[in-house]
Amino acid sequence: MKKTSLVFLFVYLCTNFNLSAQTAVSINLNAANAKTVISKDIYGQFSEHLGRCIYDGFWVDPAMNVPKKDRIRLDIVDALKKINIPNLRWPGGCFADEYHWRDGIGPREQRPKMVNTNWGGVVEDNSFGTHEFLELCSLLGAEPYIAGNVGSGTVEEMAKWVEYLNFDGVSPMANLRKQNGREKPWKVSFWGVGNESWGCGGNMTPEYYADLYKRYATYARNYPGSPLKKIASGANSWDLNWTEVLMKNIPARDMWGISLHYYTLPTGNWGKKGSATVFAEQEYFNTMKNGLAMDSLVKKHSAIMDKYDPGKKVGLLVDEWGVWTDVEPGTNPGFLYQQNSMRDALIAGSTLNIFNNHSDRVRLASLAQTVNVLQALILTEKEKILLTPTYHVFDLYKVHMGAKLIPLDFISPDYVLGDQKIPAVNASASVDSNGVVHITLVNLDPKKKISINTALNGLKWSGVTGRIVTSPKFNDFNSFANPNKIVAASFKGAKKTGNQLKVELPALSVVELELK
């Protein structure tokens, strides 16, 4: 497909009410305004020393009969490479602010053991540390994002970690790195100055943290060829005051980004979050409603950032997000192991559409978490692994990474339950460097198919292909007994008729279309 200066896309979405009534919706899609690049880093991942994410996830017993490099599990690496994960955030999370990096370098048999007081009170042997993490990132082809210890650490400790990672010369930390087997620096760019400093990272006020950030960031040096992208520990969900104080008190030139954490709770109640797989439609509806709140959340924090940074130099980084349910019965409550259903896939697709549509400000995001924790991409059971429905959504959406956002405008039909309603459809679109247009669509309605009739004026295209993630029930999931119940499949519900694109979007579906 050749690039075109202006494309108007009129989409009519018709929902069938009692086989007669229809709702028509028009979408205006203007390719001439496709100027904002969707950062590949929106598709990042988060892996904390928590439960079985690192130990018994990425990092396994030497005796386990799986493909390995050292103790890094390569079937997991291969699966993540397939979806092109761009970055990996580590070591936390809450764990970051009790982690002292020097405990995780040098001969493994000499590394001190520690208690993970945040997550299950288990003893860790520190066999997975800085060198092992950066080797994992190298195998993945992913950029490392390191969260530094502000809560229980020191300025000197963080400064020396940066030196150890990034200085190519003669210095105490560079020499120590070489003694530990790494001659050249890794040149790590993404650097978080603490984590959740309003909570487990120190229970600080925003004013205190802003001053502390400036102190820590001052000594996190930009060594030659290794400029840092320094990231401030931002707000907990709707705490707009935290963002206001940080943006007011920290000069935009001194931070590359400010983080935001938001988890979708099915019940909205931290005490009883709800099951990952056993729930009725009302709880499904509530989960979708809570997940879609991400759009309003990003808008509100972005509006505050716009006051102090109208040039949008500082990124909003949603570096912890996802569905958080009660743990699976019989598992350690501190390990946060949960199953992953079609509901999670719909939240993933909807959230990524939101991030894409706000890519002028959202520059990085991290799904929590990659393996065996919360809304994971991959679950393991000894030698077995399975890919979750969320994994397959990321596989569909990777086409947007680094492409230019095509702005779209439409009013969705409603998904109605009792006297409540939410938008049934959300979408995002992009055009890649070859001029190929991709559209991702999510239908949250569990019962109604949505018919799409699209007029593509001024756009030359020869055909459409697509892929879909769907399942008959919103609480369907992949199990180790049936690991392929929900997978990405070829989508045959889109066709070209003249210059019209006709799509039948099934209920409970995430669809990716390619026009070229």
Residues carrying an active site annotation: 196, 320
Handedness of CA 215, 298, 284, 417 (dihedral sign): positive
Give the integer Cα–Cα distance in Å for 438 and 259. 28
Q: Dihedral through CA 148, CA 154, CA 160, CA 161, nearest 10? A: -20
Q: Alpha carbon of 492 to those of 15, 29, 197, 460: distances in Å? A: 19, 23, 48, 21
Contact status, residue 150 vs residue 212, Cβ threshold 8 Å: yes
Give the integer Cα–Cα distance in Å for 449 and 451. 7
Question: Of how many residues is the chain composed?
Answer: 516
Instruction: Please choose, from the candidates 312, 289, 298, the residue with its C-alpha nearest in 3D space to the C-alpha of residue 240.
Output: 298
Structure-block tokens of residue 79: 């699966």
- For 459-486, give the DSSP string: -----EEEEEEE-SSTT-B--SSSTTSS
Residue 76: CB atoms within 10 A of its CB come to 23
Give the integer Cα–Cα distance in Å for 483 and 75. 15
- For 48-59, give the DSSP string: -SSTTSTBTTTB
Instruction: Please choose, from the candidates 98, 126, 99, 131, the residue with its C-alpha nearest in 3D space to the C-alpha of residue 113.
Output: 126
Q: Alpha carbon of 260 to those of 97, 199, 325, 351, 428: distances in Å? A: 17, 13, 20, 14, 22
Strands (E), 388-487: 404-405, 408-409, 414-417, 420-423, 425-431, 437-443, 450-457, 464-470
Cis bond before residue 93 (omega within 30° of 0): yes
Handedness of CA 160, 164, 168, 171 (dihedral sign): positive
**Which residues, 6 or more positions from 110, have their beta carbon under 8 angstroms from its beta carbon?**
none
